Amino acid sequence: MSPKRRRLQDELKQTRPFRSPAAEATVAIVKTADVLKRRLARLLEPYGVSPQAYNVLRILRGANGKPMATLEIASRLIEQAPGITRLLDGLEAKELVRRERCKDDRRQVHCFITPSGLEVLRALDPALNEAEGLWATRLSSRELKTLIGALEKVRAEEP
């Protein structure tokens, strides 16, 4: 079917090689992220949860029952505020998330994951871990460390 381990240059059928390793890395990062997102979306599809919605649920589970304001969730995602509101609307409609206006500061809205939300996450966990482990075994732990460190440097702001 499809050959594995093609070089990115081959994958993109580029006639000329990349002008610089940095250019190649840029394309590689964006393309890999897309592949990962698609894999995740495929896993989530049966549950009617989008990757972003899944991330929100994960964040709320990580809060361990503590209330979390809407914009606090946004800041942990790569998502702008307007998107979060509607994402939470959807999750609340499915009763995976509960929201209530905060007593102390009535501008804020506190969000919680519901038991159903936790259940969905629990049902997904094994498949997610498996998918992740699949490619992780192809990398040495040194490679993984370098990868994570290098990406950190790419994201770092201009000095």
Q: Report which of 66, 70, 115, 75 is spatially closest to residue 89, judged by C-alpha positions.
A: 70
Task: State yes or no: residue 66 binds DNA (CB under 7 A).
Answer: no
Q: Of 34, 45, 100, 105, which one interacts with a second copy (CB under 8 A)?
A: 34
Position 70 contacts DNA (CB under 7 A): yes
Q: How far apart are the first and last CA of the chain?
A: 46
Alpha carbon dihedral 49, 53, 55, 61, in 10-degree steps, equals -90
Q: Which residues share a beta bridge with 69?
A: 110
Least distance to DNA, CB of residue 3, Å: 17
Binds DNA (CB under 7 A): choice among 71, 118, 128, 131: 71
5: left (phi over 0), alpha (psi -120 to 50) or beta: left
Segment near DNA (CB under 7 A); pick from 18-26, 73-81, 140-148, 149-157: 73-81
Summarize as ranges the residues that interact with DNA (CB under 7 A). 41, 50, 52, 69-72, 79-83, 85-90, 99, 104-109
